Amino acid sequence: MRLCSLPPFFTEKLSKHSNGVSSTAAHRPRAKRRTPGTATMAPQHALLLLVIVANAVDGQQHQLMEYMERRLAVLEERITQWHDQSSRYSTELRDFKNKVLSMLESVEKDRETLRSEVENTAVRVDRLEREVDYLETQNPAPPCVEVDDKLMENQVANAKMRKNEKYDKMTDCSDTVSQVKAMKILKRFGSTAGLWTKDPVGNSEKIYVFDGTSNDTVYVFPRMREFTLFSATRKAARIKLPYPWVGTGHLVYGGHLYYIRRHGTFQVIKFSLANKTIVDSSVFPAEEQIPVFGLSSYNYIDLVADEEGIWAIYATQENERNIELAKLDPATLDIEQMWDTPCPRENAESAFVICGALYVVYNTRLPSRSRIQCVFDVSGSMANEDAPLVYFPKRYGSHSSMKYNPKERQIYAWDDGYQLIYRMEMKKKTEV
């Protein structure tokens, strides 16, 4: 058995006792030879010494054991406390985890509920929009523009006096259509008949969409990208016009919307897109008007723009076989000049103007390939017989509108609900 080291107190006491015995033995005078009786006393002293040492060691070991027991008790108490704290922390962490899981489940349920409500709300909003559009179409705004009959007669008389006169305000624009360079199908949007266009004046990229042949709400998309990506009308801004339009002969030009209103007579309305108000209106100075295109019974006046400004394409009962052309002042809506063209109305579906030349597009009752079959140049520099016969690519049906953009040199067309872009290839009139 390995004995533990003795405390300093017992070690010091035992050392003193041993030193004392040794010192006494050292200084004791040498005795004479002991007798046998005297020699028996030494073992007794040694035995006594062993007993004393054993008692001291036993007492020291007992105190050491008590000391160790006390230290072990303290350690056990601390370990018990640590174990209790660890168990409590584990329980709290488990409870917190359960609470978090419960909250996540609740949040997920709430998210699903909100998503379902949003989808239901979107469906209701779409239905309400359709109902509102229908109600607005069935109940147009009451007219408040009064027509002065005497003023109308004066405008008609002045226009007839200038009819077929030589137009001397042409610029140096001398381009004519050579062929259709490319066709791009953007999307399908809205009704079979309609109009989409851009403002050729300025740097605006907005797309204006007129759905149908009788409505009063214009959809405005900020750029071509938004128009092609989104099919829902709620992605576009809406402009509510004070009066509904008729036909698909509208025009956006210089920050204004020019459209045709039918209220007894045909009126040209100039509407500011910035202020959302009517800037001017004028009765179109033509009597007994009839549909200008034989294949489009809803178009009585088609407003178009080119490098020279704004033009009006129309037809009257007086000259019912052919199409007529007029030059408009965009500022005052006055008629600057009027022409009787040789282009027939029969089988005509649309028309546009480029550099002062009217191009009439023809088709058949059963839609086939559209073609430019009649050209009328107000400057007289190109005869109809010299103009090339230009065919458009095969598409879906017939054109309800074709708007030439002089800035981009391309045509925005509406074909049976599809929105198309025709890129035109030009050449000089002198090369024809």
Residue 199 lies in a domain: yes
Lowest mean pLDDT among 51-60, 164-173, 209-218, 240-249: 164-173
Residue 2 has pLDDT above 50, yes or no: no
How high is the pLDDT of residue 66?
Answer: 87
Q: pLDDT over 90 for what percent of the chain?
A: 49
Residue 134 lies in a domain: no
Helix (H) or strand (E) holding 116: helix 41-138
Residue 410 lies in a domain: yes
Residue 223's domain comprises 149-431
What gap in Å lies between CA 308 and CA 313, rounded to an integer? Answer: 15
Here the CATH number for the domain that contains residue 175 is 2.120.10
- List, for residues 153-192, the tens digit of each pLDDT value: 666 566 666 666 666 677 788 899 999 999 999 999 889 9
Residue 273 lies in a domain: yes
Query: Position 366: which residue type?
Result: L
Residue 21 lies in a domain: no
CA max distance for the chain:
181
User: Is residue 217 within 8 Å of residue 241, measured between CB atoms?
Assistant: yes
What is the average pLDDT value for the chain, to the nearest integer?
83
Give how many domains the chain has, as a whole number: 1
* Average confidence (pLDDT) over 126-150: 60
Which is more confidently placed, 394 or 160? Answer: 394
How high is the pLDDT of residue 156?
Answer: 58
What gap in Å lies between CA 311 and CA 376, rounded to an integer? Answer: 13
Which one, of 408, 413, 425, 420, lies nearest residue 204 by Cα? Answer: 408
Residue 379 lies in a domain: yes
How high is the pLDDT of residue 167?
Answer: 67
How high is the pLDDT of residue 384?
Answer: 86
Residue 32 lies in a domain: no
Residue 235 has pLDDT above 80, yes or no: no
- List, for residues 304-361, the tens digit of each pLDDT value: 999 999 999 999 999 999 999 999 999 999 999 999 999 999 999 999 999 999 999 9
* Average confidence (pLDDT) over 386-399: 86
Residue 17 has pLDDT above 60, yes or no: no
Q: pLDDT over 70 for what percent of the chain?
A: 81
Confidence of residue 398 (pLDDT cuts 50, 70, 90): confident
Residue 133 has pLDDT above 80, yes or no: no
Residue 259 lies in a domain: yes
